[in-house]
């Protein structure tokens, strides 16, 4: 029994590592086209990446979209999460289910809906509507993160602040917000990564003038694949590692904040 479990575990770990390994190894290949295993190794793909106008512009677009997604999601998601936790607990279950529905709706369906709306409104060909669409599709991830942080906050903290002489706005800024900060931060990072790597919605809503990085990579895959693309994918993996790093250290921050002895 134990051997089977261990074997399965090793298999799963290998499966998770495999695509990353392939991408990272391939991203260092020398030569004009991407082959695996590479004939030789070089850092040129990464240097080329920086030189490649299309990729560079696409990366800049992705970062812009990611930033806008964060701004929109935090601006709308944090107050909405507070409302979700603090008011009308009767509706909480229904509302949570509704939000889950937002996540589980196939992206292709939401993308199609946005395409219809944007075409009518004449918004195709601009970047910010893509960010709006990505925000709508991914907002629940941030809300769950913020809401769970808020739900674990001792409700007496705010009452204590009130007895100590803090007005509601002071209580919110000095007590509630710092208490939710770990949840807001992890939700923000999560939705930023979702924003810069989102593919399907961007593909359907973008034109040549608004290609984000994932769409640009996808476009290049149709011809002979240059190693630069693997380097671009490698970049995402680096970002993913940084995010995981930050999130795990945040987990400890959270325990640090709310340790129960």
Q: Which is nearer to another protein, 33 or 249 (CB)?
A: 249
Number of residues that bind another protein (CB under 8 A): 23
Q: Are 187 and 143 in contact (CB under 8 A)?
A: yes
Distance, CA of 8 to chain centre: 29
Q: Is 184 near another protein (CB under 8 A)?
A: no
Backbone dihedral region for residue 48 (phi beyond 0: left; psi -120 to 50: alpha; all else: beta) = alpha
Helix (H) or strand (E) holding 7: helix 2-27
- Find the binder of another protein among 58, 74, 143, 161 (CB under 8 A): 161
Q: Is 259 near another protein (CB under 8 A)?
A: yes
Region of 86-94, 176-184, 203-211, 235-243 interacting with another protein (CB under 8 A): 176-184
Region of 52-60, 104-112, 237-245, 250-258 interacting with another protein (CB under 8 A): 250-258
Q: Are 33 and 226 in contact (CB under 8 A)?
A: yes
Q: Are 212 and 58 in contact (CB under 8 A)?
A: yes
Between CA 135 and CA 165 the distance in angstroms is 38
Q: Is 238 near another protein (CB under 8 A)?
A: no
CB of 251 to another protein, least distance (A): 16
Q: Which is nearer to another protein, 175 or 215 (CB)?
A: 175
- Find the binder of another protein among 13, 17, 164, 238 (CB under 8 A): 164
> Which residues 6+ apart lie within 8 Å of 81 measured at CB?
142, 143, 146, 147, 150
Region of 23-31, 57-65, 66-74, 170-178 interacting with another protein (CB under 8 A): 170-178
Region of 25-33, 130-138, 172-180, 208-216 interacting with another protein (CB under 8 A): 172-180
Q: Is 105 helix (H, G, I), strand (E, B) or coil?
A: coil
Q: Which is nearer to another protein, 180 or 233 (CB)?
A: 180
Give, in degrees to the nearest 5, the angle at Cα 97 between 96 and 99: 65
Binding site for another protein (CB under 8 A): 154, 156-157, 159-167, 170, 174-175, 178-179, 181, 256-259, 261
């Amino acid at each position: 029994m134990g051997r089977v479990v261990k074997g399965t575990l090793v298999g799963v770990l290998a499966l998770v590592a495999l695509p990353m390994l392939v991408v990272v190894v391939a991203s260092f290949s020398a030569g004009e086209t991407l082959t695996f295993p590479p004939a030789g190794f070089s850092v040129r793909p990464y240097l080329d990446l920086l030189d490649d106008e299309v990729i560079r512009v696409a990366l800049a677009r992705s970062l812009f979209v990611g930033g806008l997604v964060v701004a929109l999601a935090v601006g709308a998601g944090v107050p909405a999460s507070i409302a979700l936790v603090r008011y009308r607990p009767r509706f909480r279950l229904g509302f949570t289910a509704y939000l889950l529905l937002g996540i589980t709706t196939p992206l292709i369906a939401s993308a199609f809906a946005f395409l219809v709306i944007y075409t009518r409104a004449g918004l195709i060909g601009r970047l910010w509507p893509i960010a709006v669409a990505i925000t709508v599709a991914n907002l629940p991830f941030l809300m769950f993160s913020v809401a769970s942080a808020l739900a674990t906050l001792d409700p007496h903290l705010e009452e204590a602040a009130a007895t100590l002489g803090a007005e509601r706005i002071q209580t919110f800024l000095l007590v509630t917000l710092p208490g939710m900060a770990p949840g807001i931060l992890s939700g923000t990072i999560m939705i930023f990564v979702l924003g810069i790597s989102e593919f399907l919605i961007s593909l359907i809503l973008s034109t040549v003038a608004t290609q984000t990085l994932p769409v640009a990579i996808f476009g290049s895959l149709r011809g002979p694949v240059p190693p630069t693309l693997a380097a671009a994918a490698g970049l995402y993996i680096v970002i993913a590692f940084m995010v995981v790093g930050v999130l795990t250290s945040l987990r400890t921050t959270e325990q640090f904040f709310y340790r129960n002895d």
